[in-house]
């Protein structure tokens, strides 16, 4: 499924009107029909529906919806708008007049809204759509507050009114929607910031924009299980360890030997062919006991971290690898900076993670000059080292920060890690929205780095390995959470003094509520 910003969506609407000879009125009717289909699925024609409309095309969608409902036999449709007829856009005015012809009641006074909400069973929010760019104040803020206070089930058309469609920011106040029905594509703001929470359940409605038309515009693709299956590397019956990549992982220190261990284990479980660890001598024996499958190169260390002599050894041993992974648990020292700089100057594909990203603030020109594939995996703070932007700026509009970065570094694949992860190059962009807060712990990033590394070693495709790795990592967290919930529920039921037949029913209910796919 495609993800676009508001400008792209506006261009798509215009192209559909011009190239497909679809009138703007018909496009508005298509949008309204999509919302009506949802209402048809969930309500009878006796339901009391209040549609709250603004002055623009989003309001026009609301007026069009009211007319379609009335024409189809819905008997309790009511409109509320603060606008008079002269304030409406031409298309919105057309459908507002159609509603008047159908004798649909329309109220305009703010003091009437509370009573209308009390007398309704379903609210439809058609106040502001994707074009909102300034804060909401005054009477419109009062309308939003009253709708939220009513606790009525609310359907928002395209965007919850008050949410910025590009950043997900709340523009003063916003509708808490139970369902948001979006047209043609996901909007960035539905997945980011407060938008994700305010949208409720997201449903995409087809309004006839061809997929080829969307694909030509700047867009991102939402990662799904089906999409991820397409990105995963293929393994063949007639193959050997050399078929699946030869990786050198540089990292670790006495105080953070777990980071390189987690990364290595994830790499091995993700299918890498052979893995060599380049680590400080002080942790060599420890890793040898924990990671029997790995080969080891032990470098000079100082206080448990790489010493300056480690660079000379790396130059001797760097060899013929398919991928170099650097950063996990190696600390921040002059020696580690030198190792990162040397790796960046090689023609070998590379993944920079963790402490290696800290070093990159000094080596942006090396990154820009690289021709070999490079994957970087920053969280927002680490991304600030690469961009000169503050963490707050990045989190305020991550899509913008990602686009600016990838346009400057065309040979880099960026994995921006947050509650919504963005995986991008200057040509492709994937977005991951699954996962849960169980991943908010030390070591999660090292495991992700290992998964991506293992997949890249097999496929030699950077954006594909990164996208699939992020989704698989998040999916594992969701699967494990389901298993944990099922186990806890079962233990609670089993401990209670219920008759046997009730426990059997509870066990069946557990499997139904918490299914797992092993």
**What does the pLDDT average to over 129-154?**
95
Q: Is the pLDDT of residue 494 over 90?
A: no
The pLDDT-based confidence of 417 (bands split at 50, 70, 90) is very high
The domain that holds 136 is classified in CATH as: 3.40.50.10260
Residue 202 belongs to a domain: yes
Do 61 and 187 reside in the same domain of the chain?
A: yes
Do 284 and 349 reside in the same domain of the chain?
A: yes
Do 193 and 246 reside in the same domain of the chain?
A: no
Query: Residue 494: in which H helix or E strand, if any?
Result: helix 462-495
Q: Is the pLDDT of residue 13 over 80?
A: yes
Q: Which domain holds residue 171?
A: 2-222
CA 73, distance to chain mean position in Å, is 40
Looking at 194, 222, 250, which one is the last position of a domain? 222
Please give the annotated binding residues for (6S)-NADPHX, written as ranges: 57-61, 129-135, 140, 158, 259, 329, 379, 446
- The per-residue pLDDT for 497 is 63
Residue 229 belongs to a domain: no
Looking at 222, 251, 282, which one is the last position of a domain? 222
The pLDDT-based confidence of 501 (bands split at 50, 70, 90) is low
Q: Is the pLDDT of residue 493 over 90?
A: no
Do 386 and 464 reside in the same domain of the chain?
A: yes
| Pairing outcome for strands 421-424 and 412-416 | antiparallel
Do 429 and 387 reside in the same domain of the chain?
A: yes
Give the number of other Cβ atoms within 10 Å of residue 40's Cβ. Answer: 14
- The per-residue pLDDT for 21 is 87
Do 282 and 399 reside in the same domain of the chain?
A: yes
- The per-residue pLDDT for 488 is 65
- The per-residue pLDDT for 159 is 97
- The domain total for the chain is 3
- The per-residue pLDDT for 507 is 58
Do 151 and 269 reside in the same domain of the chain?
A: no
**What does the pLDDT average to over 289-314?**
95
CA 30, distance to chain mean position in Å, is 28
- The per-residue pLDDT for 504 is 56
The pLDDT-based confidence of 20 (bands split at 50, 70, 90) is confident
- The per-residue pLDDT for 484 is 72
Q: Is the pLDDT of residue 144 over 70?
A: yes
Do 293 and 427 reside in the same domain of the chain?
A: yes
Intra-chain end-to-end CA distance of the chain, in Å: 26
Query: Residue 187: in which H helix or E strand, if any?
Result: strand 186-187
**What does the pLDDT average to over 292-312?**
95
CA dihedral (169, 108, 46, 146) positive or negative: positive
Residue 233 belongs to a domain: no
Residue 154 belongs to a domain: yes
The pLDDT-based confidence of 186 (bands split at 50, 70, 90) is very high
Do 248 and 198 reside in the same domain of the chain?
A: no
Average pLDDT, the chain: 93
Report percent pLDDT > 70 for the chain.
Answer: 93
Do 167 and 309 reside in the same domain of the chain?
A: no
Q: Mapping DSSP to helix (H, G, I), strand (E, B) and coil, where does residue 266 land?
A: helix
Q: Is the pLDDT of residue 289 over 90?
A: yes
- The per-residue pLDDT for 31 is 97
- Poorest-confidence range of 119-133, 179-193, 226-240, 482-496? 482-496
> pLDDT tens-digit profile of 74-89?
999 999 999 998 899 9
Residue 181 belongs to a domain: yes
- The per-residue pLDDT for 361 is 84
Query: Residue 421: in which H helix or E strand, if any?
Result: strand 421-424
Please give the annotated binding residues for AMP, written as ranges: 417-421, 445
Q: Mapping DSSP to helix (H, G, I), strand (E, B) and coil, where does residue 252 land?
A: coil
What would the DSSP string read from start to end of 264-293? Answer: HHHHHHTT-SEEEEEEEGGGHHHHHHH-TT
Report percent pLDDT > 90 for the chain.
Answer: 87
Residue 277 belongs to a domain: yes
Residue 228 belongs to a domain: no
Structure tokens at 340: 């990162």
Cβ 266 vs Cβ 454: under 8 Å: yes
- The beta-carbon contacts of 477-486 under 8 Å, at least 24 apart in sequence, are 477/435, 477/436, 477/438, 477/439, 478/434, 478/435, 478/436, 479/516, 479/517, 480/438, 481/436, 481/438, 482/514, 482/515, 482/516, 483/514, 483/516, 485/514, 486/510, 486/511, 486/513, 486/514, 486/516
Please give the annotated binding residues, written as ranges: 57-61, 125, 129-135, 140, 158, 161, 259, 329, 379, 417-421, 445-446
What would the DSSP string read from start to end of 11-54? Answer: HHHHHHHHHS---HHHHHHHHHHHHHHHHHHH--TT--EEEEE-
The domain that holds 430 is classified in CATH as: 3.40.1190.20
**What does the pLDDT average to over 6-15?**
94
Kindly compute the dihedral angle of the four CA atoms of residues 488, 492, 498, 503, in this order, to the nearest 10 degrees: 0
Do 358 and 407 reside in the same domain of the chain?
A: yes
Cβ 308 vs Cβ 335: under 8 Å: yes
Q: Is the pLDDT of residue 489 over 80?
A: no
- The per-residue pLDDT for 518 is 35
> pLDDT tens-digit profile of 195-250?
999 999 999 999 999 999 999 999 999 999 999 999 999 999 989 999 999 999 99
Burial of 517 by CB count in 10 Å (0-12 exposed, 13-18 middle, 19+ buried)? Answer: exposed
- The per-residue pLDDT for 288 is 94
Q: What is the DSSP letter of 411?
A: T
Which residues partner with 248 through β-bridges? 276, 324
**What does the pLDDT average to over 44-66?**
97
CA dihedral (427, 433, 435, 439) positive or negative: positive
Q: Mapping DSSP to helix (H, G, I), strand (E, B) and coil, where does residue 321 land?
A: coil
Cβ 35 vs Cβ 51: under 8 Å: no
The pLDDT-based confidence of 419 (bands split at 50, 70, 90) is very high
Q: Is the pLDDT of residue 138 over 60?
A: yes
Residue 8 belongs to a domain: yes
**What does the pLDDT average to over 24-28?**
96
Please give the annotated binding residues for K(+), written as ranges: 58, 125, 161
The pLDDT-based confidence of 517 (bands split at 50, 70, 90) is very low
Do 457 and 508 reside in the same domain of the chain?
A: no
Q: What is the DSSP letter of 161?
A: T
> What's the CA gap between 300 and 312, in Å, rounded?
10
């Amino acid at each position: 499924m495609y993800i676009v910003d508001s400008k792209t969506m506006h261009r798509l609407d215009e192209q559909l009107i011009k190239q497909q000879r679809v009138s703007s009125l018909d496009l508005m009717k298509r949008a309204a029909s999509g919302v009506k289909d949802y209402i048809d699925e969930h309500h009878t024609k006796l339901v009391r529906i209040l549609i709250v409309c603004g002055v623009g095309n989003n309001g026009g969608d609301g007026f069009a919806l009211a007319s379609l409902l009335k024409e189809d036999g819905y008997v309790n449709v009511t409109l509320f708008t603060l606008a008079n007829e002269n304030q409406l856009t031409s298309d919105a005015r057309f459908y507002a007049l159609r509603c008047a012809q159908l004798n649909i009641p329309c109220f305009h006074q703010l003091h009437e809204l509370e009573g209308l909400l009390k007398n309704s069973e379903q609210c439809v929010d058609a106040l502001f759509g994707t074009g909102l760019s300034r804060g909401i104040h005054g009477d419109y803020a009062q309308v939003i507050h009253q709708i939220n206070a009513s606790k009525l089930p609310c359907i928002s058309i395209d965007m919850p009114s008050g949410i910025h469609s590009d950043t997900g920011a709340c523009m003063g106040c916003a509708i808490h929607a139970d369902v948001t029905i979006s047209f043609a594509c996901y909007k960035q703001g539905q997945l980011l910031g407060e938008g994700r929470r305010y949208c409720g359940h997201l449903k995409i409605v087809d309004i006839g924009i061809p997929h080829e038309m969307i694909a030509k515009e700047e867009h991102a693709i939402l990662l799904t299980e089906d999409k991820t299956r397409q990105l995963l590397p293929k393994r063949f019956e007639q193959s050997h360890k050399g078929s699946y990549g030869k990786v050198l992982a540089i990292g670790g220190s006495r105080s953070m030997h777990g980071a390189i261990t987690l990364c290595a284990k994830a790499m091995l479980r993700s299918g890498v062919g052979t893995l060599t660890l380049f680590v400080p001598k002080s942790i060599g024996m420890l890793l040898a006991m924990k990671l029997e499958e790995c080969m080891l190169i032990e470098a000079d260390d100082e206080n448990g971290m790489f010493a300056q002599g480690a660079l000379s050894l790396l130059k001797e041993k760097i060899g013929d690898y398919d991928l170099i992974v650097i950063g996990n648990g190696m600390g921040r020292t002059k020696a580690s900076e030198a190792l990162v700089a040397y790796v960046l100057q090689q023609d070998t594909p590379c993944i920079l993670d963790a402490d290696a990203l800290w070093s990159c603030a000094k080596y942006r020109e090396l990154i820009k000059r690289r021709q070999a594939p490079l994957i970087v995996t920053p969280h927002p703070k680490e991304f600030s080292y690469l961009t000169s932007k503050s963490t707050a700026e990045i989190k305020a509009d991550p899509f913008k920060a990602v686009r600016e970065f990838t346009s400057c570094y065309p040979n880099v694949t960026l994995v921006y890690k947050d509650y919504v992860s963005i995986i991008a190059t200057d040509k492709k962009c994937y977005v991951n929205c699954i996962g849960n807060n169980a991943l908010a712990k030390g070591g999660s990033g090292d495991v992700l780095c290992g998964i991506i590394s293992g997949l890249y070693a097999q496929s030699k495709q950077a954006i594909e390995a990164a996208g699939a790795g992020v989704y698989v990592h998040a999916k594992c967290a969701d699967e494990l959470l389901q298993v944990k919930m099922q186990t806890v529920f079962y233990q609670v039921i089993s401990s209670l003094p219920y008759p046997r037949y009730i426990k059997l029913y509870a066990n069946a209910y557990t499997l139904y509520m918490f299914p797992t796919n092993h």
